[in-house]
A = this chain, B = another copy of it.
């Protein structure tokens, strides 16, 4: 079959719809297979394995086709989607007799869901905006980890004597720090001493401020990208105007 013709098919809507359906079906089967014991579906174990082999064959075929039509094969194989497509098929191989020990790694099939991001166009735009602020985001992640560390050390100091079970070590206190700074606040651990409560007030004030930063960063990055595009267009128009008037 002609490569160009094949590419048209693979980049066409019907092929996309089929792959999207397969990804969704594979996720649903994954859940059913995983929950089968609890729901009394053990009788269908073989069905799940057959279905998984089917997904393996179809996703493998898709992968081979994508590599085949790609002129720069190496680039595709080491691209984000190339690796995701490979990861989507490899874990099924652990069903083979020789890989019995690694069977638990079939769990990795869960990442098949990432194949779906290829079909959401806006994801690309979001990703490129996030790439523009990746240094700031990395800095925020490091600052967040530092804040978790400092918060855990602080609350450990205040609460270790009253609640040795939950705050007896700094490591244990980190769980409180994560749950509090993300404002999840399950309520399984919380300070009881006056000092611990005042410290929590200070730490959450900083934490809420830290959480506010990424959306501010993203907003300005997206706005900049748009204003730049806007200005380029304006400049182009203005240049054309100059040429015409010259």
Q: Footprint of B on A, CB under 8 Å?
A: 27, 30-31, 34-35, 38-39, 107, 110-111, 113-114, 116-117, 120-123, 125-126, 135-144, 146, 148-150, 153-154, 156-157, 168-171, 174-175, 178-180, 182-188, 190, 197, 200-201, 204-205, 207-209, 211-224, 226-228, 230-231, 234
Contacts and interface: CB of A to CB of B under 8 A. Distances in A.
Contact of A157 (B107, B116, B148, B156): B107
Contacts of A120: 138-139, 142-143
A157 B104 CA distance: 11
A63 to B, nearest CB: 20
Interface class of chain A by DSSP? helix
A31 B177 CA distance: 15
B209 A113 contact: no
Given A113-B149, A220-B222, A223-B224, A126 B213 contact: yes
Closest 5 CB pairs of A and B: A216-B218, A220-B222, A219-B219, A184-B185, A187-B187
Contacts of A150: 110-111, 113
A204 B182 contact: yes
Contacts of A228: 230
Contacts of A39: 169
Given A212-B214, A216-B222, A217-B216, A190 B200 contact: no
A122 B138 contact: yes
Contacts of A30: 153, 170
A146 B105 CA distance: 20
Nearest to A204: B182
